[in-house]
Amino acid sequence: MRGKHVILGVTGGIAAYKSAELVRRLTERGAEVQVVMTAAAREFITATTFQALSGRTVRESLWDPAAEGAMGHIELARWADLVLVAPASADFLARLTHGRADDLLATLCLATAAPIVLAPAMNQQMWQNAATQANVAMLKSRGVRLLGPASGDQACGEVGPGRMLEAVEIADLVEPMLAVPGPLTGKRVLITAGPTRECIDPVRFISNRSSGKMGYAVAQAMRAAGAEVVLVSGPVSLCAPTGVQRISVESAAQMFEVVQQQLPGTDVFVATAAVADYRPLEIAPVKIKKRNEQLTVEMTRTTDILASVAARTDRPFVVGFAAETNNVEQHALEKLLRKNLDMIAANEVSTCKAFDCEDNALLVLSRGGARVELPQAPKRELATALVALIADRLKSKV
């Protein structure tokens, strides 16, 4: 949404408090947000809140001499890439249906060529009223998009349809309407991230230091490049990047299962997860007691997820990660060839580098000999650079 212009219309409903968060959710995705409030909206929330959050003076009136000297409402109508009204009151739906232009927001909706999107919010009886439903049907037939409403507990104490969607849900739905196609638009990317946990008994497991930060950064960068992203994640304390479908798993075996299920239709597979190479041969059914001086846990190999994907005849473009403590380039090159990968991103994980850090450095080797060094940088920046390299390779394969 970077650089996109959104007019956020706020009308007079209780859900106006959610619009403040909506400004944040839109601006954090890069949109420029101009808030336009109706007179009734000002009874529920102040312009000061929106001004502080959007960084722009809130527009409230058609009769603003400063703005209207240069026909401000027409200028604003042309400026918008999208007009989003959230909450949209029953009264506003009625006014929009009848083409009224009796305040700034309604006038803008008539004067704009941009798409209009409404997030209705009202008492469930008001929503189900035949007049409102007829207005909604008319607006839809004219191409106005409606988001929600959701059903559930209402501020008035009733239960039913009429709740405004949550801010993040609205932002998620609006984002693709404004998205500029990226280099990976139309591609499906499957990413593994984080550590795995291999159980010893019901309370203990073997794991590793992976934080998942690199994999999550790659997922975010892939999404920003336009890809549909599925992230298969081991246990981490990170939020799923917006617009990314996360599937949480614990063990290497579960990760393998989910990857196999998600592979069909995948164009790119990126294995950043630090998957356990070994798991206990048997999981004790009850907690192991502290009886002996020494305890031996017999381990067996886990299935190599990366190699299993790369070995398929219908394989996607396969990118592996190599976390090495020594001879980084040599080990990474061996892994690239041995596992038949298309690309490998190697990093050194000794002396507290890489694992659970904000920064990293990558050496990217490709089949065919290309070698690119991505020097020390925040993982987000490295992920963006890596995704650009992958997108280039995909383009040259077409």
Binding site for ligand FMN (CB under 6 A): 11-15, 38, 40-41, 89-92, 121-122, 126
Minimum Å gap between C-beta 246 and ligand FMN is: 33
CB of residue 101 to ligand FMN, shortest distance in Å:
13
What are the structure tokens assigned to 294, written together?
């020494």
Cα(361)–Cα(383) distance, integer angstroms = 10
CB 87 within 8 A of CB 119: yes
Q: Give 87 or 241: the residue with its C-beta nearer to ligand FMN.
A: 87
Positive or negative, the CA dihedral 44, 169, 117, 30 is positive
**Closer residue to ligand FMN (CB): 13 or 226:** 13
Measuring CA to CA, which residue among 120, 124, 118 is closest to residue 154? 124
Cβ–Cβ contacts within 10 Å for residue 245, how many?
Answer: 14
Please, which residue, 14 or 288, has the CB nearer to ligand FMN?
Answer: 14
Minimum distance of ligand FMN from residue 146's CB (angstroms):
14
How many CB atoms lie under 10 A from the CB of residue 290?
7
Nearest distance, CB of residue 129 and ligand FMN, angstroms: 11
Q: Is 154 within 8 Å of 117 (Cβ atoms)?
A: no
| Nearest to 189, CA basis, from 154, 152, 149, 231 | 231
Q: Are the C-beta atoms of 51 and 21 separated by less than 8 Å? A: no
- Report the nearest approach of ligand FMN to the CB of residue 43 (Å): 7
Instruction: Report the alpha-carbon distance of residue 136 to residue 127 in Å, rounded.
Output: 9
CA distance 156 to 328: 63
- Cα–Cα distance measured from residue 74 to residue 153, given in angstroms and rounded to the nearest whole number: 39
DSSP state of 216: H
Only one residue has tokens 């009848």, namely: 98
Query: Which residues, in sequence order, are bridge partners of residue 270?
Result: 191, 319
Give the nearest distance from C-beta 73 to ligand FMN in angstroms: 16
Rounded CA gap, 82 and 80, in Å?
Answer: 5
Q: Smaller CB distance to ligand FMN: residue 106 or 305?
A: 106
5: which strand partners?
Answer: 32
Q: Which is nearer to ligand FMN, 60 or 198 (CB)?
A: 60
Catalytic residue, chosen from 109, 156, 352, 357, is: 156
Verify whether residue 156 is a known catalytic residue. Answer: yes
**Smaller CB distance to ligand FMN: residue 46 or 325?**
46
Active site residues: 156
